[in-house]
Amino acid sequence: MILSGYHLGMRMTKAGALGVGVCAALIAAAAPSNAGVASFSESFEGGSVGSQPTAADTDYDQSVGDRGDGDGTIHVHFVSGGWRGHGAQFANSPVAAHAFGFLGKQLGHQTSVYFRRYYKLAAYPQYRMSVLLYKFGGNGNGQLGGTHNGSFAFGGTGQSHRFALVNNNTIAATSTATVPLNTWFRVEVHVQFSGGTGTQAVRLYLGSDVNGTIPTETITAPLTGDYTDYIEDGILTNPNVSLHYVVDQAANRASWPGPVS
């Protein structure tokens, strides 16, 4: 297994990864299987610009657009001009620090899943902001009562605005690279579990590497639990102020997704 050569919390730059070989279809089956995997790719392409994504026009189960502030603002909506086609814009509330939008997806019991996201960050968060969260246990939309495996995050001031990997709710590793502003970059993630523990491996494709095959940097960290069954995209922890975009997401259980084709 590719990850067997990694160590928890390790960082690997592009130069150190030249010889290393290490995206999103999700199912609701009780046990992992590649049979019948539904495509989770391009799931923003069906919506209309300005509208809130819903289960009717994406592959997500849950869409929360106005959480907590009651000001009528939709904190997640479709935008044009993404990396290719529609994207989703996530913003936190201008009037309530803990009000923001997110999208959720139930996966079924999974011990190995790969993800791809293209991101563009418009402003640095003051505090660490998780943007891709994994959970297990719990029930219903949001997996209420479930436990965080961990998450992928954009670091706040305390992390010098680097990428951060979170184990449960604690930062376990940060990147060497700083999160770019106002430019698209690609992130690919592999979460896997065995023997009651998990690992999160993240490949960062930044700058001219955005659609390349060799990552700019690879970082890894542990995860809590022995499986995952739910993910969320969006602003998932309070950043104080932030705005970011996501497009061309993908997932599967077989291999790293690679760039859009």
Say how far apart CA 224 and CA 189 lie, in whole Å: 16
The CATH-assigned architecture of domain 2-252 is Sandwich (2.60)
pLDDT at residue number 37: 31
Question: Among candidates 86, 101, 92, which has minimal Cα distance to 125?
Answer: 92
pLDDT at residue 78 is higher than 80: no
Average pLDDT over residues 79-91: 67
Read off the pLDDT of each residue in 144-151 and give the average, rounded to a whole number: 85
Compute the mean pLDDT over every residue in the chain, rounded to the nearest whole number: 74
Q: Is 260 exposed, middle or buried (0-12, 13-18, 19+ CB in 10 A)?
A: middle
What residue segments make up the domains of the chain, in order of their start? 2-252
Nearest Cα residue to 179 out of 139, 223, 125: 125
Distance, in Å, from the CA atom of 39 to the CA atom of 158, rounded to the nearest integer, reads 37
Query: Does residue 195 register a pLDDT over 50?
Result: yes
pLDDT-based confidence at 25, cuts 50/70/90?
very low
Average pLDDT over residues 47-55: 70
DSSP string of 194-249, one letter each residue: ETTEEEEEEEEE-GGGTT-SS-SEEEEEEESSS-EEEEEEE--S--SS-EEEEEEE
**Cβ within 8 Å of residue 9, ≥6 positions away:** 172, 173, 220, 221, 222
Classify burial at 138, counting beta carbons within 10 Å of its beta carbon; exposed 0-12, middle 13-18, buried 19 or more.
Answer: middle
**Residue 165 in 3-state DSSP?**
strand
Q: What percent of the chain has pLDDT over 70?
A: 62
Tell me what pLDDT residue 220 has: 98
> How many whole angstroms separate alpha carbon 37 and alpha carbon 44?
18
Instruction: pLDDT band for 71, please (50, 70, 90 cuts).
Output: low
Residue 173: pLDDT above 70?
A: yes
Beta strand ranges found along the chain (DSSP E):
11-13, 25-26, 38-39, 62-64, 76-79, 87-91, 102-110, 112-123, 129-136, 147-154, 162-167, 170-178, 185-194, 197-205, 217-223, 228-234, 243-252
More confident residue, 89 or 255: 255
| 153 or 252, greater pLDDT | 153
In whole angstroms, give the CA distance from residue 252 to residue 41: 9
What confidence category does residue 27 fall into, taking pLDDT thresholds of 50, 70 and 90? very low
Nearest by Cα to 88 from 28, 135, 47, 141: 47
What pLDDT, in 10s, does the model give residues 174-194? Answer: 999 999 999 999 999 999 999
Q: Which residue from 103, 143, 115, 141 is spatially nearest to 236, judged by alpha carbons? A: 103
Better-predicted residue by pLDDT, 92 or 67: 92
pTM exceeding the 0.85 threshold for the entire prediction:
no
Q: Which residue has the higher pLDDT, 71 or 11?
A: 71
Strand-pairing partners, residue 204, are 187, 217
Of all residues in the chain, the percent with pLDDT exceeding 90 is: 39
Query: Residue 18 has what pLDDT?
Result: 32
What is the reported pLDDT for 24?
Answer: 28
Beta bridge partners of 141: none
Q: Are 37 and 25 in contact (CB under 8 A)?
A: yes
Q: Average pLDDT, stretch 94-110?
A: 69
Distance of CA 135 to the CA centre of its chain: 12
- Does the pLDDT value for residue 143 go beyond 50? yes
